[in-house]
Each structure stands twice: as C-alpha cells, then as structure tokens.
Structure 1
Amino acid sequence: MANRYSTNYRMNRVFREDRAALIVPIDHGLVWGRVPSLEAPVAVMRRFMSEDITGFMVSTGIVKQSEVDMAKAPALARVLAIDAFWPTSAPATGTGTLVASVEDAVRLGVDCVKLLLPWNVDDAEKVLYCNRIGSVVSEASKWHMPVMVEPVFLAAPRTPEIIEAELEVARIGYDLGADIIKITFPGPDATAKLCAELDIPVVVAGGPLSGDSASTLRDVQDAIAAGAQGVVVGRKVWQRPAEEAAHVIAEMASITRKHYSRRW
C-alpha cells in the first residue's frame, strides 16, 4: 500500500521491507531509575548489538554515551524517548514533561521520537499531554521525523476493560498525528482490529518480565501474525539469564521474518 511513509528515510530505517522491527528498549531509567539488569544501559546495548535485532529504544544520555558503538552498527535504528512521567505508581497525581526536543533528536541522528500518552490521569494532565504531542507532531513534520505514541494506563492491571480502553486511547494518538502506535500486547484479535482500523504501523510492547520464554515467543508470533509491524521487547529479554536471552532474541528474529507482512 503506497502512502506518505513509503519515501520517508527514517521510517524505512525503523521498518524494513523484509522483516518486522525487533527493537530492544533500554530507556527505562527515565521513569524507573536503576531497573534490575539495566543498571548499566550501554553495557546492555553492547551485549545485544551483535544479536539479530533491528534497533534500540534509548534516552538522550544513552545516545550520547554510545555514539562510537552505534557508528560501528549503522544498520541499527534508534527510537528516542523524549518525555517522562512521575510517579508512575500514582498516575492520578503524577506529571508528564518533555525531556528532549525534536531538534535534539535530529541533532543526535536518531530515527524516531517516542512519547507516552497516559490516560488514567486527571483531565488537566490529559489536556497537557494532547497539547504536548500535537506540538511535537507539528515540529517533527518539519524535519521528517517519525513520532511514536504509546497509549498506556499506568500501574493498572491488564484487565479486559483496560485493554479495550487502551485501544480507544490509541485512536486518540492516531488523531493527534502519530506516525506509529506502540501498545502493550492486547491479544491477537485486538491487535488485528487495531491494525485494520489504523493506516499507520502498530508495534507491540513486551511489558514486564512474566511467564516463561515460550509464552513470550508465542505472544510475539501472535502479534506479528495479526499485523503488528514490530515488537519492542526489553525486560522479557535482558532480565532473563544471558543464554536464555540470546535464544529468545534468535527465535524472535526468526518470527519477525516468517510471520511478517508489510502493511504500509
């Protein structure tokens, strides 16, 4: 399907023709500080650079400290988180803010910017988020910088009601002008529904470490078979023992090729 993304240089670095994106996020420190197994994020990046992945999700500090490493791996894309929210444990009273600009992202040479869209916040905070995302989308268009928006209900249990509500918030992100929607895996049927409704790439987040590696791989396969254009999996990989993590990444990489169909 030909559309405005087909000639966008950065979008085609994030999303390749031959496989779904397999992005390893290591930006968790922005909101959670010293996450177990990610105390040294650049060391984690170096550990996975030689694996069969397509890129990383990073923070400004990680980009600055890994410039030499990434110069040696130019095929790997980088998605820059440019906002944060505190405290994630109390979203009703929390506050979000930008921590980097689109111009910073361009200067740093990344391929995409990412913003949260928390929705279990008060109405004033919702207004601020929509204004913030709208402003970033406007500025990003001047630089042909893709914008990824992540609808989320912070610290909320993954009930059917929350999953359905996240699909509704994904539509808000789409209408705000997102180029990519990142959503915690809502199941294969809901993923297929979202991918059918939105004419932009949808990527699925892995979420916190839970279950065994087989269940993680099954979710990845289901997500991509349902139409997701990529997966963003961090804690379910780098919080596992090194040998198991390498196995999971290799299996995910195979899935991203065998079950992928490009939709944009």
Structure 2
Amino acid sequence: MSMEYRMRRTLPSDRAAIIMPVDHGLIFNRIEGLETPSAPFESWAGSDITGFMMTPGQVKQTEAFFARNPQLTRVLTIDTYYDHTQLDGGGSHSLITTVEEAVRMGVDSVKMLFPWNISRAERAALCNRVGKVVTACDAWDIPLVLEPVLIGAPRTEEVVVEEEKVARIAYDLGAHIIKIAFPGEERTRRLVEELQVPLVIAGGPLSGEPAETVDAVAQTIRAGARGVIVGRNIWQRERTAAEKVMSEIATLTRSVEFAD
C-alpha cells in the first residue's frame, strides 16, 4: 500500500474527516463512557463518522468488526505519556509499539503525542523519537498524525500561542498530519495556509453546550482543516444530545471537498 492510499483513507477528499478517539485508556485508565473499551465501535459506527483513533488492544479485539465495516479508518495510537497531570516537566513519554507492527495490524495511520511542557532534555529526546518514527513511517508508507500539546495545561491565551509554535516544530520534524487543539478560526486558517500540511482539530474534554462544539467545528471547517477528532464531547454526553451533535457535525463535514 502507498502513502497516498493511506492518506486518502485517513482524510477523504470528498468531505472533512470525523475521527472518534477512544484511546484514552492509555493515559486515563478507566474513564467514564469508555468503561468497555470495545463498546464505542458498534455504538457509533453508524453515525456518519469516518473512523476511530484506537489502542493496540482495541485493534486486536475488533478485527472482525472492521472487516465488516471497511469504510471506517483506523488510526493507531503508538505512544503514551505519564503523568498527564504534571505541568512542571515531571511527565514521561514513550512508544508502546512500532510502525512496523502498525503496518502488520493493517491500520491506516499512526498517531503520537508531542507534549511540549516537559524538560529541555526530554524535548530533545522526544524530537529524536519523533524523527525516527517519521523515518519509519516514510519507509513503510504510513502517515504519522502528530499532536503538539501542552498536556494538562489550561486553555489560556499563552498556551494556545505556544501550541501554535509547537505545531511548526511538528511540521519541521516531518509530520504527515498535524492534530492540534482548536486555536480559533483565524489561527487555524493561518496554520493551514503556512504549513500546507493537513491539519485536524481535536475536540478535547467534555465541556460547554452542544452548540459550542458544533460552532467550533464550523469554524474549523471554514478555516480549511481536513477534519475533526471528536470523542469525549460526544460519547460523554447524554445519548440523544450526543446523536444530535454528531448529526450536525456530519452535515458540516459534508459541506466541503478538497483538491486531489
């Protein structure tokens, strides 16, 4: 399979992607709404999403399901980070599997965190780690989704500005797709125009009213992002409200097409 094939699987050209992340157990352990790690696939596959972001354990447990639903893409999380509550450089990032193993498992792309509120020594080690993963991804023709983030930090103006800067570092390291927390419509548009690498926007933790989530997605799409990564803002809501939000988001994502 080629890089182009897997990129098109991950980010279709006839719409913006909706990828539902359900990989939170790698960091949060048992989390509300994800008590049974394999449950979201059957539950949400028919809601017009394009795929899931998942763990190695979930990939192994759901092989038959995805064989029956080949239209859904699989983004494999290949790393973890501890402790996500530490903001003083006390965290530790590491890979949990390899790019070669991801290809063997048949997924469409791999995803890594790029946490930047860590020590300078760990930043250098992280960049080295990402560089090796990018090299392996290029060798195996599989895209890397890299997520610049100040993990656990409050969404202050300073944090948003810093994450925008770190997105540039992710670009320079060779990320094929950049995933970033929504920095606002103007900053999203600037990142899309300047980096010219597919950008996807993370939905983040459950917060605000459903209309706020839908409005953020609308701004994301207007700004030219190729997709949204939305999980807890959907599956941690009451089911009827969550289905309504997902329907409205799906309509927005089908309002655009991207050049081949």
TM-score normalized by the length of structure 2: 0.97
Match of 2:109 among 103, 108, 112: 112
* 1:8 aligned counterpart, secondary structure: helix
Match of 2:128 among 128, 131, 153: 131
Matched with 1:214 is: 211
Runs (5+) with no aligned partner, structure 1 = none
Tell me, yes or no, if structure 1 residue 11 matches structure 2 residue 3: no
What number of residue pairs does the alignment pair up? 258
Match of 2:198 among 183, 198, 201: 201
Tell me, yes or no, if structure 1 residue 64 matches structure 2 residue 60: yes
* 2:228 aligned counterpart, secondary structure: strand
Runs (5+) with no aligned partner, structure 2 = none
**Corresponding letter in the other structure for 2:226:** Q
Matched with 1:85 is: 81
Matched with 2:37 is: 41
- Does the CA contact (< 8 Å) of 1:229 and 1:263 recur in 2? no
Instruction: Spell out the pairing of 1:15-34 with structure 2 (5 A cutoff).
Output: 15-34=11-30
- Does the CA contact (< 8 Å) of 1:147 and 1:179 recur in 2? yes
Query: How far apart, CA to CA, are the structure 1 residues paired with 2:76 and 2:203?
Result: 18
**Corresponding letter in the other structure for 2:71:** A
Matched with 2:145 is: 148
- Does the CA contact (< 8 Å) of 1:184 and 1:204 recur in 2? yes
Query: How far apart, CA to CA, are the structure 2 residues paired with 1:74 and 1:31?
Result: 28
- Does the CA contact (< 8 Å) of 1:227 and 1:261 recur in 2? no
Match of 1:103 among 97, 100, 105: 100
Query: Which stretches of structure 1, 4 residues or longer, exceed 4 Å deviation after superposition?
Result: none
Matched with 2:163 is: 166
- Does the CA contact (< 8 Å) of 2:78 and 2:97 recur in 1? yes
- Does the CA contact (< 8 Å) of 1:57 and 1:80 recur in 2? yes
- Does the CA contact (< 8 Å) of 2:13 and 2:259 recur in 1? no
- Does the CA contact (< 8 Å) of 1:227 and 1:263 recur in 2? no
- Does the CA contact (< 8 Å) of 1:204 and 1:232 recur in 2? yes
Deviations 1:85-129 (A, max 9, x none): 000001411110000100111011101101111111001110111
TM-score normalized by the length of structure 1: 0.95
- Shift of residue 63 of structure 1? 0.2
**Corresponding letter in the other structure for 1:55:** G
- Does the CA contact (< 8 Å) of 2:114 and 2:148 recur in 1? yes
**Corresponding letter in the other structure for 2:55:** S
**Corresponding letter in the other structure for 1:250:** S
Deviations 1:222-262 (A, max 9, x none): 0011111000000000001111111111111100011x242
Deviations 1:176-210 (A, max 9, x none): 00000000000101101110111110000000001
